[in-house]
Amino acid sequence: MLHLRAVSPVDVTDRVLAVLKEHPGATHVVLLRGAAVEPAGDVVEADIAREATDEVVASLCGLGIDKHGGLTLEQIDTALSDAADEAELAAPGEGADAVVWDELLSRTGEESRLNATFQAFLTIACLLAAVGVVTNSPVTIVGAMVVGPEFGPLAAIAVGLVLRRWDLVRRAGIALAVGFPLAMLVTAGGALLGSVTGLFDRTMVLDAHQVDFVFTVGPFSLIVALLAGAAGMLSMTSAKSAALVGVFISVTTVPAAGYAAVAAVLGEWERCAQSAGQLVVNLVGIVVAAALVLAVRSRKNRANDPGRPLSTG
Task: Kindly report the CATH number assigned to the domain that includes residue 43.
Answer: 3.30.70.120
Domain check: are 65 and 213 in the same one?
Answer: no
Q: Which of 77, 98, 119 is the last residue of a domain?
A: 98
Instruction: Encode pLDDT of 268-277 as tens digits.
Output: 999 999 999 9
pLDDT at 307: 40
pLDDT at 115: 93
SS (H, E, C) the chain: CEEEEEEECHHHHHHHHHHHHHCCCEEEEEEEEEEEECCEEEEEEEEECHHHHHHHHHHHHHCCHHHHCEEEEEECCCCCCHHHHHHHHHCCCCHHHCCCHHHHHHHHHHHCCCCHHHHHHHHHHHHHHHHHHHCCCHHHHHHHHHHCCCHHHHHHHHHHHHHCCHHHHHHHHHHHHHHHHHHHHHHHHHHHHHHHCCCCCHHHHHCCHHHHHHCCCCHHHHHHHHHHHHHHHHHHCCCCHHHHHHHHCCCCHHHHHHHHHHHHHCCCHHHHHHHHHHHHHHHHHHHHHHHHHHHHCCCCCCCCCCCCCCCCC
Give the sheet arrangement for strand 2-8, strand by strand.
26-37, 40-48, 2-8, 70-75
Instruction: Encode pLDDT of 49-91 as tens digits.
Output: 988 888 899 899 999 999 999 999 998 888 888 898 888 888 7
pLDDT at 311: 42
Domain check: are 35 and 173 in the same one?
Answer: no
302 belongs to a structural domain = no
Domain check: are 139 and 60 in the same one?
Answer: no
The answer to whether residue 35 scores a pLDDT higher than 90 is yes
Determine the Cα–Cα distance for residues 113 and 254; give it in Å rounded to an integer.
Answer: 18
312 belongs to a structural domain = no
Amino acid at 41: G
Instruction: Encode pLDDT of 155-171 as tens digits.
Output: 999 999 998 899 999 99
Which residues partner with 50 through β-bridges? none
pLDDT at 113: 87
Domain check: are 87 and 162 in the same one?
Answer: no
The answer to whether residue 300 scores a pLDDT higher than 70 is no
Instruction: Encode pLDDT of 102-119 as tens digits.
Output: 778 877 878 788 999 999
158 belongs to a structural domain = yes
Counting the structural domains of the chain, the total is 2
311 belongs to a structural domain = no
Percent of the residues in the chain that have a pLDDT greater than 70, as a whole number: 89
Domain check: are 181 and 256 in the same one?
Answer: yes
Domain check: are 30 and 118 in the same one?
Answer: no
pLDDT at 116: 94
The rounded mean pLDDT for the chain is 87
pLDDT at 303: 40
pLDDT at 304: 39
Q: Contact, 248 vs 145, CB < 8 A?
A: yes
Average pLDDT of span 215-242: 83
pLDDT at 94: 64
Domain check: are 93 and 109 in the same one?
Answer: no
pLDDT at 96: 59
Domain check: are 90 and 110 in the same one?
Answer: no
Domain check: are 109 and 226 in the same one?
Answer: yes
Give the domain range for residue 41. Answer: 2-98
156 belongs to a structural domain = yes
Domain check: are 17 and 92 in the same one?
Answer: yes
pLDDT at 301: 42
49 belongs to a structural domain = yes
The answer to whether residue 178 scores a pLDDT higher than 70 is yes
Domain check: are 13 and 94 in the same one?
Answer: yes
Nearest to 201 by CA among 140, 272, 262, 273: 262
Domain check: are 133 and 184 in the same one?
Answer: yes
308 belongs to a structural domain = no
223 belongs to a structural domain = yes
The answer to whether residue 226 scores a pLDDT higher than 80 is yes
